[in-house]
Amino acid sequence: MDDKNPKDEADNPEEAPVSSEEKVNASDPLFEAREAGLDPSDGQALTEYDEEEEIEFDLEAQIEEFRCQIEEEPENCVHHYNLGEALVELGDLEEAREEFDLALECDEEKEFSSIIHFAIGNLYYSKLISGIHGTVVRSSVGLHSAHKAGDTITQVNNEDYEIPIREFEAAIQDLNFLKADDDIVEYVSKNAPQQIADTYYKWASDLIDKSRQIDHYGDEIKDVKTALKYLKKTVESDPNHSQANLMVKYAKKMLQEGWKAYDEYGFEAKDIQGLG
């Protein structure tokens, strides 16, 4: 890997162009097939040859390689970044964040800070959508809405949403300094605003789900008002966000008409009066 480029171009433009997996590219696959005595016109034979030549990727071995690179060049931000991405794939998010932080410290010229901030934002967004917060419960105003214990969001911690948004905004801010291939620059430019929109949408959705839990906690109206504010921010970042546009209508109706929540047995648990 070239130390001046954090990652190679992605195979799929809809996926992040950053992965700890090294691509194994033959300089001329057809030449190698001929050398193996295969007829290039025989598609089945070539397919079988490709399958035999396929190299199984070893993530843990790749991680060890990145660690060795860091030992040799501890001040190289790319090595720390690559290790961070590999650790994310392994599921070790805490150490991954440590490596991303080291990458930022080493990147004094901000040549790669945009993609590093983007990776940190994705890390925290992944944590956000795991567990109960991974299930977005859309508002069903006017419909029977039942929640079972453990199946609804009861707490919304602002910091959980603020951190990824802040990192995605930093990725956009440092984009002009990014020393990477055009496809990577374009990817961050396109997807960082989208991730901001999705995070605001998630924030709003969780607040609305919280307001619809069966326990009356007193700030239901306040939470829906806040949710509406974040839905508008979603639409500002992504005017074509269909779910957010629909949820704006739901939130406004909740505030105007109020809503009821029912327990798992179908009995009314609370009745929130609208503002009229």
Query: What is the DSSP secondary structure assignment for residue 135, as one 8-state letter?
Result: S
Q: What is the pLDDT of residues 143-163, one digit of tens each?
A: 345 555 556 778 899 999 999
Q: What is the reported pLDDT for 193? A: 95
**Tokens 């949820």 found at:** 247
Q: What is the pLDDT of residues 230-242, one digit of tens each?
A: 999 999 999 999 9
Q: How many helices (H) and strands (E) does the chain have?
A: 10, 2
Please name the helix (run of DSSP H) or strand (run of DSSP E) that holds residue 45, with its range, or none.
Answer: helix 43-53
37: left (phi over 0), alpha (psi -120 to 50) or beta: left
Beta strand 258-262 with 268-273: parallel, antiparallel or unpaired? antiparallel
Burial (CB count <10 Å: 0-12, 13-18, 19+), residue 47:
exposed
* Rounded Cα–Cα distance for residues 177 and 184 (Å): 13
Q: What is the pLDDT of residues 72-96, one digit of tens each?
A: 999 999 999 999 999 999 999 999 9
Helices of type H across 54-157: 59-72, 77-90, 93-106, 113-128
Q: What is the reported pLDDT for 1? A: 45
268 by DSSP, 3-state: which?
strand
Calculate mean pLDDT across residues 166-189: 95
Q: Confirm if 181 and 4 have CB atoms less than 8 A apart.
A: no
Cα angle 70, 71, 77; round to 5: 25
Q: Confirm if 262 and 268 have CB atoms less than 8 A apart.
A: yes
* Rounded Cα–Cα distance for residues 165 and 167 (Å): 5
The encoded tokens of residue 93 equal 């998010």
pTM above 0.85, yes or no: no
* Rounded Cα–Cα distance for residues 77 and 61 (Å): 20
Angle between helices 77-90 and 93-106 (to 10 degrees): 170
* Rounded Cα–Cα distance for residues 29 and 233 (Å): 49
According to DSSP, the residues that pair with 161 across neighbouring strands are none
Calculate mean pLDDT across residues 188-209: 94
Burial (CB count <10 Å: 0-12, 13-18, 19+), residue 41:
exposed
Calculate mean pLDDT across residues 257-271: 88
Q: pLDDT band for 129, please (50, 70, 90 cuts).
A: confident
